[in-house]
Amino acid sequence: MSPKKKTIKKSVAKGKPGTTAHTKKTTKKVAKKTARKAHKRSAVTSGKKEKHAELRKLLLGYRKKILRNVKEEISKFISGEAKQLVDTAVDDGDLSFVDLAEDINLKKLSSYKDRLNKIDESLRKLDEGTYGLCDDCGAEISEARLKVMPFAIHCVECKEQRERFEDLEKEYEF
């Protein structure tokens, strides 16, 4: 066998660039990398799905609790607890107390309504895949903040900025 043929056989056996063996090796490497990436992606996706399911369960739990509180407040109103206070009111001071109690109950109901709207919005964002992103700057809201307030729509920085602005508005009565 000529020395040239021996060199070609050796390069094919070693898988040097430009040879069939090299192409097969490269193809196998690429296939392995792709398979590993796909496996990682599926693991991340399944982890994300579990997290979303957990968040959904948490949000629905909050929603259920708020609805229970709303029903209790409404049933108290219907049962006549407020009317009993009016019937026992003797003077204007008693009537103003009754008015104050009604205002407090209405504020509670309004607060419950706002929270329900925020929870519904969070559930919608969870379905869209935009849950956990700040409405103002688009940055991710910290996991710690979302654990404390799962229906938060602003990151800490943007929320603090909004609160400072609101304080200025109150101070200077814009």
pLDDT digits (tens, 9 = 90+) for 75-128: 887 776 656 655 565 666 666 777 787 788 889 999 999 999 999 999 999 999
Tokens read off for 166: 């609101």
- Same domain for 173 and 96, yes or no, is no
Q: Is the domain of 73 the same as that of 158?
A: no
170 and 110 inside one domain: no
Are residue 67 and residue 148 in the same domain, yes or no? no
> In which domain, by residue range, is 154 found?
132-174
Q: Residues 144, 91: one domain?
A: no
For position 36, what pLDDT does the model report?
47
Burial class (CB within 10 angstroms; exposed 0-12, middle 13-18, buried 19+) of 34: exposed
- 95 lies in the same domain as 151: no
pLDDT at 43: 36
What gap in Å lies between CA 174 and CA 172, rounded to an integer?
6
- Mean of all residue pLDDT scores within the chain: 77
DSSP 8-class letter at 152: -
Asked if 73 and 61 touch (Cβ cutoff 8 Å), the reply is no
Same domain, 118 and 137: no
Q: Are 158 and 136 in contact (CB under 8 A)?
A: yes
Q: What is the dihedral of CA 50, 54, 59, 65, to 10 degrees?
A: 150
Residues 40 and 86 in one domain: yes
Q: Are residues 15 and 82 in the same domain?
A: yes
Q: What is the mean pLDDT of residues 55-75?
A: 92
Distances (CA, A) of 135 to 52, 143, 167: 19, 16, 20
